[in-house]
A and B are shown apart, each in its own frame.
Chain A
Amino acid sequence: MLSSVFIKNKSLIHVLALIGLAILFILNLAEINGWLLFEIDVKGMLRFDRYALVMNAIMLASLFFYLLLSGRTMEKVGPHYADYLALLFFICAGLFMVTGYASLLILFLGIEVISIPLYILTGSDKRNLKSNEAALKYFLLGSFSTGLLLLGIAFFYGARGNFSATVSVDPTVVASSLQLASLLLLLFAMSFKVSVAPFHFWTPDVYDGAPTVFTSFMATIVKVALFAAFVRLFEDTFSLQFSIWQPWVAGFVVLTLLIGNLTAVFQQSVKRMLAYSSIAQAGFMLLAVYAINGDSKEGLLLYAASYSLATIGIFAVLTYLQDYTFEGFNGLAKKQPIVAASLAIFFLSLAGIPLTGGFMAKLFMIKAALSYQPWLAIVAVVMAVVSVFYYFRVIQAMYFRSADQGTQSAFPKAFPALLLVTALLVVLLGIFPEALLGLLYF
């Protein structure tokens, strides 16, 4: 179990962090292939099965690209560069706990380990009022939802007498009202954490207020890990009670897709648009929770990889731009053809156009939903068409409009090449998704 062992890596330098991540990634791949470096007895609190390990691999790879692409811009946020990296690695430990929990206590601990550093990172731009406001808002609402989560876990213990998440709850044996309360509380708390409507109100403000580098991290890697836990909780622990929670989740899916997509259309700032788009994408990922079958887990893994890479890439470009409105992207294709082409691939992937990872991920999700409720799949694809409206605004600005004077943005030398590699990965996921999914079974 390599979760928190390597996290002592308080590197002062960017490079050291990258090397640490690369080692972690290789060790993780080795474990997927069955080569364990060492074993620690975790007393049944953690469980690293294939699903958790592949998820960890995806997160580590995303984090690697995240640090490569926007590691340097963290310096602009404030003077404590090393501290930011350390906090990121703390969160990373929390992420492993969340994907590999076998007891609800570990789930709670993991979520707290993720949340507390995130509150700090959100407020790390101390001179910016918006950043302070976002941090306070996030902290207050976050603690409230953590309270709900804890209450849910306490009720769970009251009904079952243990915290085990691996044995599914049998509704015929366990006392029903307490059990039902815990189920709903956990559902609401988790929905809040992954910003699913109607629990999404904190998301736009926090994502908009936080320094852009950290928004990128929150909206991708953290969100994806929490979704992995969400799916696990409802597919393993509460799978026998699906008749109770499935209608709720279906309602959340529709609400999230509608609110996320329709609000994103009207945004003027690309950063805020991305915040709403991340809510909309959460609606798609929620379909993985809704549908209990193999497709949904595979789909979530693909979604995790393609969505994280694409969003990290877009945010990385955004950190180098002065103007966050759509006009800020005008004529980018002429000045920076490689950056623009990569961005176009990222947006096409988010919109779910074939040949990109985003399409394959959406395909799996729709396929999973179709076996339960055809109308849910229809709502999902119509909303995917709506999403084209706001994603393509950026592509139009980059390619078809000419630049205004003076908005020159400078990128570091290696940045376009790195971005292109990320974009090619997204395309590869769209053509050979089995390269990733194969890790699950072989």
Chain B
Amino acid sequence: MVVLLLLLIPLIGACFLFLYKGDHRFASAAALQVSFASLLVMGARLFYWNTPEMLIFSAPWLTSLGSSFSLQMDGLGTMLSLLTTISYFLLFWYLKGRTIERPAAFFGWLLLAQVGMLGVFLSIDSLLFYFFWELALIPMYFLASQWGGAKRIPVTFKFFIYTFLGSVFMLIGILYLQSKTADHSFALESIKKIRLSNEQQSWMFWLFFIAFAIKLPVFPFHTWQPDTYEESPTPVTSILSAVMVKMGILGLLRWLLPLFPIASYMWGDVVMSLAVVGIVYASLLAMQQSDLKRLIAYSSIAHIGLMTAGAFALNNMAYQGLLLQLFTHGINILGMWILADIIERKTGTRSLDSLGGIAQQSPTLTIFFVIIALANIALPLTNAFVGEFLLFNGILATPSNYYWVFAAVGGLGIILSAVYTLKMIRAIFYGEPNTITNKPIQLESHEVMALSVIVGLILFFGVYPQPLLDMTADFSKELFSQTDITSLFRKS
């Protein structure tokens, strides 16, 4: 029942906001309360409602097709739902009282996107999964196209076409798998029982992988991403990059790897190469950017590349690191986007060339920025360090002949990330203040609170990540047992 509540609360909130058009103060307060309610439910799930019956919901739906409305919250689902609810709450807290054009529609679409994403994270029926996959896309398209920058219409359309193209291939894959199941069902359990030949696995692998690769995005499917991140309004960008890209990782972990383990091994080298090339490529481009949003966008591609490489490392340690990184990357990048938004709003520019010297007038902002930026390059004692450490350990244990190449090139990415992040800090905060930056930037109390929570999470999980690791330990072990290539070959 918890899973159903998690979907219903934002859905009801979204409908309410669409029908009841209030002013911006009312709309943002209502959205904040809805997101707080979701967070409470999530908290209750963590501490009280953890019996198996509470975590599963299944209702008949499209029975003649073999599909049912089935949701289940396993370790992966818990981690991502937690990330979603926390991110939404922090974002809405930060946005409290903001004047936005047509505020009710803005927050309504955002909440609708939350329904879609939570649905993707929790559904264990492939057709339902596809439904939610698209449902998450439509609100994002409208948000980015209506509230975005000058070039928003062509840019977001490209984003939509790209993702839609990927997902229809996945739909063909889903339909094919359904026709192969014994009981003609779309359920994950039934699909797992199919025995596919290696060639069939390869076909299915690519049909699914393209959909996920576009969503992530993995090099060379990434071209929509920097433009879309730049043109979208920053709150939307933060949801896109903190939560929505996790849909792609979830697709890899819940659908692709366990369903086609042999194909994942066969094509693992190709995907790993793409991922590490993407890391270096995106890092090099990030160093050249003078636009703050584009810089963060490219840095996000680099992080996602590392996570993708971890998914195809096919061992338990990499999975653990990846699952942890799902959460920490979301929190860190959310912090980065909020800071970028503050800087752009208060100074009126996001060009690194015209900023500089902010540290002298606004020390609080500088402290927040430096901590979050350092977490982004995974400095020890920040939350991302643990995840990246495990990821690299896992990549070194990859069942591939080229594991050391992948680890070495991926490691280069970390060095490069330090370069562009420190360059960014220097360009914005140090140097001589100019006419734009010589006034102090006043942070409002709710902005400070939201950022403090983020910094608190970064430091807390940097020192003590065990609760998060425990949360996903079972999932990671089970995933490993399904994808452990040596035992798979021994069996067949």
Contact string against B for A residues 353-372, beta-carbon threshold 8 Å, 1 for contact and 0 otherwise? 11100000001001100110
B147: nearest residue on chain A (CB-CB)? A400
Interface centre among A370, A388, A400 (most CB of B within 10 A): A400
**Provided the pairs A370-B179, A389-B161, A399-B146 are in contact, do residues A381 and B135 lie with their beta carbons within 8 angstroms?**
no
Q: A72 to B329, alpha carbons, bound, how many Å?
A: 58
Asked if B145 and A434 make an inter-chain contact with CB atoms under 8 angstroms apart, the answer reads no
Q: A370 to B171, alpha carbons, bound, how many Å?
A: 11
The reply on A79 being an interface residue by CB < 8 A is: no
Q: Which residues of A contact B64 (CB under 8 A)?
A: 434, 437
Q: Which residues of A contact B146 (CB under 8 A)?
A: 399-400
Q: Which residues of B contact A409 (CB under 8 A)?
A: none
Interface size class of A (residues with CB under 8 A): 20 to 34
Asked if B153 and A377 make an inter-chain contact with CB atoms under 8 angstroms apart, the answer reads no
Interface residues of A in 367-403 (CB under 8 A from B): 367, 370-371, 374, 377-378, 381-382, 384-385, 388-389, 392, 396, 399-401
A223 to nearest B CB, angstroms? 25
Asked if B164 and A388 make an inter-chain contact with CB atoms under 8 angstroms apart, the answer reads yes
Interface residues of B in 123-141 (CB under 8 A from A): 130-131, 134-135, 138
Q: Which residues of A contact B138 (CB under 8 A)?
A: 348, 353
A435 to nearest B CB, angstroms? 11
Q: Which residues of A contact B176 (CB under 8 A)?
A: 370, 374
Asked if B131 and A384 make an inter-chain contact with CB atoms under 8 angstroms apart, the answer reads no
The reply on B142 being an interface residue by CB < 8 A is: yes
Interface centre among A355, A377, A381, A396 (most CB of B within 10 A): A381
Asked if B157 and A366 make an inter-chain contact with CB atoms under 8 angstroms apart, the answer reads no
**Provided the pairs A353-B138, A366-B171 are in contact, do residues A400 and B145 lie with their beta carbons within 8 angstroms?**
yes
Q: Which residues of B contact A378 (CB under 8 A)?
A: 169, 172
Interface centre among A366, A385, A388 (most CB of B within 10 A): A385
B49 to nearest A CB, angstroms? 28
The reply on B63 being an interface residue by CB < 8 A is: yes
Q: Which residues of A contact B145 (CB under 8 A)?
A: 396, 399-400
Contact string against A for B residues 142-185, beta-carbon threshold 8 Å, 1 for contact and 0 otherwise? 10011000001100010011001100110110011011000000
The reply on B62 being an interface residue by CB < 8 A is: yes
Q: A348 to B134, alpha carbons, bound, how many Å?
A: 11
Q: Which residues of A contact B142 (CB under 8 A)?
A: 399
Q: A374 to B179, alpha carbons, bound, how many Å?
A: 12
The reply on A117 being an interface residue by CB < 8 A is: no
A123 to nearest B CB, angstroms? 40
Q: Which residues of A contact B161 (CB under 8 A)?
A: 385, 388-389
B221 to nearest A CB, angstroms? 15
The reply on A20 being an interface residue by CB < 8 A is: no
A112 to nearest B CB, angstroms? 37
Q: Which residues of A contact B160 (CB under 8 A)?
A: 388, 392
Q: Which residues of B contact A401 (CB under 8 A)?
A: 153
Contact string against A for B residues 58-78, beta-carbon threshold 8 Å, 1 for contact and 0 otherwise? 000011100000000000000
Asked if A381 and B63 make an inter-chain contact with CB atoms under 8 angstroms apart, the answer reads no
Contacting B134 at CB < 8 Å: which of A353, A384, A437?
Answer: A353
Asked if B164 and A366 make an inter-chain contact with CB atoms under 8 angstroms apart, the answer reads no
Q: Which residues of B contact A388 (CB under 8 A)?
A: 160-161, 164
Asked if B131 and A396 make an inter-chain contact with CB atoms under 8 angstroms apart, the answer reads no
Asked if A382 and B168 make an inter-chain contact with CB atoms under 8 angstroms apart, the answer reads yes
Q: Which residues of B contact A437 (CB under 8 A)?
A: 64
**Provided the pairs A381-B168, A384-B168 are in contact, do residues A392 and B175 lie with their beta carbons within 8 angstroms?**
no
Q: Which residues of A contact B164 (CB under 8 A)?
A: 385, 388
Q: A424 to B72, alpha carbons, bound, how many Å?
A: 29
Q: A170 to B40, alpha carbons, bound, how many Å?
A: 68
Q: Is the interface of B mostly helix, strand, loop or mixed?
A: helix
Interface residues of A in 409-440 (CB under 8 A from B): 433-434, 437
Asked if A392 and B157 make an inter-chain contact with CB atoms under 8 angstroms apart, the answer reads yes
A103 to nearest B CB, angstroms? 32
**Provided the pairs A353-B138, A388-B160, A400-B153 are in contact, do residues A381 and B169 lie with their beta carbons within 8 angstroms?**
yes
Contacting B157 at CB < 8 Å: which of A355, A367, A396, A433?
Answer: A396
Q: A400 to B171, alpha carbons, bound, how many Å?
A: 29
Q: Which residues of B contact A381 (CB under 8 A)?
A: 168-169, 171-172
Q: A357 to B138, alpha carbons, bound, how many Å?
A: 16
Asked if B62 and A434 make an inter-chain contact with CB atoms under 8 angstroms apart, the answer reads yes
Q: A434 to B63, alpha carbons, bound, how many Å?
A: 8
Interface centre among B152, B153, B168 (most CB of A within 10 A): B168
B148 to nearest A CB, angstroms? 9
Q: Which residues of A contact B157 (CB under 8 A)?
A: 392, 396
Contacting B179 at CB < 8 Å: which of A367, A400, A434?
Answer: A367
B63 to nearest A CB, angstroms? 7
B134: nearest residue on chain A (CB-CB)? A354
Asked if A354 and B175 make an inter-chain contact with CB atoms under 8 angstroms apart, the answer reads no
Contacting B168 at CB < 8 Å: which of A371, A385, A434?
Answer: A385
B127: nearest residue on chain A (CB-CB)? A363
Q: Which residues of B contact A370 (CB under 8 A)?
A: 172, 175-176, 179
Q: Which residues of B contact A396 (CB under 8 A)?
A: 145, 153, 157
B21: nearest residue on chain A (CB-CB)? A337
Q: Which residues of B contact A367 (CB under 8 A)?
A: 175, 178-179
A332 to nearest B CB, angstroms? 14
Contacting A355 at CB < 8 Å: which of B131, B152, B165?
Answer: B131
Q: Which residues of A contact B152 (CB under 8 A)?
A: 400
Q: Which residues of B contact A399 (CB under 8 A)?
A: 142, 145-146
Q: A370 to B165, alpha carbons, bound, how many Å?
A: 18
Q: Which residues of B contact A382 (CB under 8 A)?
A: 165, 168
Q: A396 to B168, alpha carbons, bound, how many Å?
A: 22
Interface residues of A in 23-57 (CB under 8 A from B): none
B214 to nearest A CB, angstroms? 12
Q: A110 to B311, alpha carbons, bound, how many Å?
A: 61
Q: A366 to B173, alpha carbons, bound, how many Å?
A: 11
Q: A437 to B131, alpha carbons, bound, how many Å?
A: 20
Asked if B62 and A354 make an inter-chain contact with CB atoms under 8 angstroms apart, the answer reads no
B138: nearest residue on chain A (CB-CB)? A353
Interface residues of B in 196-218 (CB under 8 A from A): none
Q: Which residues of A contact B62 (CB under 8 A)?
A: 433-434
Q: Which residues of B contact A354 (CB under 8 A)?
A: 130-131, 134-135
A383 to nearest B CB, angstroms? 10
Q: Which residues of A contact B63 (CB under 8 A)?
A: 434
Q: A384 to B179, alpha carbons, bound, how many Å?
A: 22
B47 to nearest A CB, angstroms? 34
Q: A384 to B62, alpha carbons, bound, how many Å?
A: 23
B207: nearest residue on chain A (CB-CB)? A378
Interface residues of A in 317-376 (CB under 8 A from B): 348, 353-355, 363, 366-367, 370-371, 374
Contacting B172 at CB < 8 Å: which of A355, A366, A371, A400?
Answer: A366
27 CB contacts below 8 A, A to B, read A353-B134, A353-B138, A354-B130, A354-B131, A355-B131, A363-B171, A363-B175, A366-B171, A366-B175, A370-B175, A370-B179, A371-B179, A374-B172, A374-B176, A377-B175, A381-B171, A381-B172, A382-B168, A385-B161, A385-B165, A385-B168, A392-B160, A399-B142, A399-B145, A400-B146, A433-B62, A434-B63
Known A-B contacts: A353-B138, A374-B176. Give 16 more (CB < 8 A).
A355-B135, A366-B171, A366-B175, A367-B175, A370-B172, A370-B179, A377-B172, A384-B168, A388-B161, A389-B161, A396-B153, A399-B142, A399-B145, A400-B145, A434-B64, A437-B64
Interface residues of A (CB under 8 A from B): 348, 353-355, 363, 366-367, 370-371, 374, 377-378, 381-382, 384-385, 388-389, 392, 396, 399-401, 433-434, 437
Interface residues of B (CB under 8 A from A): 62-64, 130-131, 134-135, 138, 142, 145-146, 152-153, 157, 160-161, 164-165, 168-169, 171-172, 175-176, 178-179
The 7 closest A-B pairs by CB, nearest first: A381-B168, A354-B134, A354-B131, A400-B145, A385-B165, A367-B175, A400-B153
